Amino acid sequence: QTGPVIDMPVPASFNDITQDPSLENYIGWVWYEKEVLLPLRWLQDDLNTRVVLRFGSAHYYSIVWVNGVQVVEHEGGHLPFEADISSIIQGSPGIPCRITVALNNTLTPHTLPPGSIQYMNDKTRYPKNYFVQNIRFDFFNYAGIHRPVVLYTTPSVYIDDITVTTTSSESIAMVQYRVSVVGSTLYSLSLSLRDQEGKVVATGDGPAGELKILNPNLWWPYLMHENPGYRYSLEVKMQAQANGALLEDVYTLPVGIRTVHITSTQFLINGRPFYFHGVNKHEDADIRGKGLDWPLVMKDFNLLRWLGANSFRTSHYPYAEEIMDLCDAYGIVVIDECPGVGIKMLESFGNKSLQHHLLVMEELIRRDKNRPSVVMWSVANEPASELPPAAYYFKTVIAHTKALDPSRPVTFVTDANYALDHGAPYVDVICVNSYFSWYHDPGHLEVITLQLTTQFENWYKTYKKPIIQSEYGADSVPGLHSDPPLMFSEEYQKAMLEKYHSVFDKKRKEYVIGELIWNFADFMTNQGTTRVLGNKKGIFTRQRQPKSAAFVLRERYWKIANESSCLPPIIKSYTLFL
């Protein structure tokens, strides 16, 4: 023991829980420990039961011990990891199971996201061994065990993975499946696909095959269909003989039947043009930081529906599985982004960084590949893609991503000059961030129309690929008013949005396929002279109250939905989730 021991809730970031400023900005190792009593039947010497310890995520580097025995190490702050702990706990009934986690939030040039530790060696200005964590991204590097920790069991022969892809025509859909079983080569598999009424609509057997559904209910995005987010249930049942016993493992996977295609000017879902009118988000809130919080999650989904948003990007890291489940269920379309944010230093484009980036894409795709809401992978946000090594780096990451999942387009989000971007040739959709009249020509709303029009035309002329405005926006301090509009007032944020929207309306008739506001809600950042308790570009406050811009966006999004939808107007009213 090297320091004080305090109670710490899980899931939560540890930074904002106490009154201790040193914990708020702490960099280095912290230790979590908990003892749990397990059910007696888990603890018997049973060769046929596997006990697994699973973490939804922990930021950033984790080492886990059970009863003093190391069981798993994991690098990366936003994806799940687990360990089989059967051999450690079985045969010890009545003894508590002690789970110990060492967690380190240090970011280096080779982590994802990258960062660097800078030692301040001027002894006239800084104490001995004084250092700071430098990051090149604009959100607070919250740390802790951010998502649920669970213990669960399976038989010793178990279903390890399921991969589902779907195709459909007018009256027939095909569901292709692949099931991987671990623990034995002698097993049988049976599958049944049920609709939402519980009726079996298709059956299959064996580790790979195809299910055929007549007159399928397709998975449609919110506001594109009167019954969005339709999912079937695929029940996979495995039976195997092991150690003289019949073992059975059953897993039920929700399946949405939908297709995604892109042309040089359109993004098609189920063959129909889809226009992204949505948001960028953060997992961020008062006190809990990035910790999963169900009331907050439900509030955010209700606000998304109220807004008429049909989509969001998981800026700038994979979000909790619980959030993704709701996107599938409610028909909210997702651009699923890995933690590749702040890749700015030359050394972050080297082989060590690249190998880790490829591994992160494998983990992300394994987790989210079966989700109908996920229509595109994003491998990075605002990297220094004008650097020459970015060409090989992004060519490799994107090719690897497509090899893992050929069914979805791949992008990364750029703020580089169109003529200098070495990664753009490899993406399927151009995603551009720009802040005209904010970071460029601050205060000059009159330049937006020309600059934004030029931006779109240059990118399209060069690449002939559909374009999403993946970020745009302005900080506004709630309650700060100015007419004529001045920066940081609610009026300026509104005026900037309206200027952007007038250009979007022209270009969405051509090749612009989406607009994602930065940001859904205000969020915490590192302290700095341009940040007053965080980034204020939210259309909602950090406490989820609307600013004036939220009403501008709501009117716009419902208008776009009404124009593009074939639904009767009666359906197009916002209803609360029950």
Question: Are the C-beta atoms of 36 and 99 separated by less than 8 Å?
Answer: yes
Question: Are the C-beta atoms of 560 and 277 separated by less than 8 Å?
Answer: yes
Residues 6+ apart with CB under 8 A from 89: 38, 42, 43, 51, 66, 67, 97
234, β-bridge pairs:
193, 253
Of residues 472, 424, 470, 468, the one with CA closest to residue 448: 472
The yes-or-no answer on residue 382 being catalytic is yes
Question: Are the C-beta atoms of 242 and 45 separated by less than 8 Å?
Answer: no
Angle of helix 490-507 relative to helix 448-463, nearest 10 degrees, comes to 40
467, β-bridge pairs:
430, 512
Q: Which two tokens stand for residue 404?
A: 């893992």
Q: How far is residue 246 from each of residues 157, 187, 239, 250, measured CA to CA in Å?
A: 10, 10, 7, 13
| DSSP per-residue letters across 462-506 | HH---EEEEE----B-TT---SS--TBSHHHHHHHHHHHHHHHHH
- Write b or e for each residue in 383-420: b if 16 or more Cβ atoms lie within 10 A of its Cβ, otherwise e: bbbebebbbebbebbbebbbebbeebbbbbbbbbebee
Secondary structure class of 148 (helix, strand, coil): coil
Of the candidates 382, 471, 490, 515, the residue annotated as catalytic is 382
Of residues 302, 357, 319, 327, the one with CA closest to residue 147: 319
Secondary structure class of 458 (helix, strand, coil): helix
Which amino acid is present at 200?
Answer: V
For the chain, how are helix, strand and coil distributed in percent, rounded to 5?
25, 30, 45
Instruction: Please give the DSSP secondary-structure letter assigned to residue 144.
Output: B
Q: How far is residue 373 from each of residues 217, 228, 330, 370, measured CA to CA in Å?
A: 15, 11, 9, 9
CA separation for the pair 511, 508 (Å, rounded): 6
Catalytic residues: 382
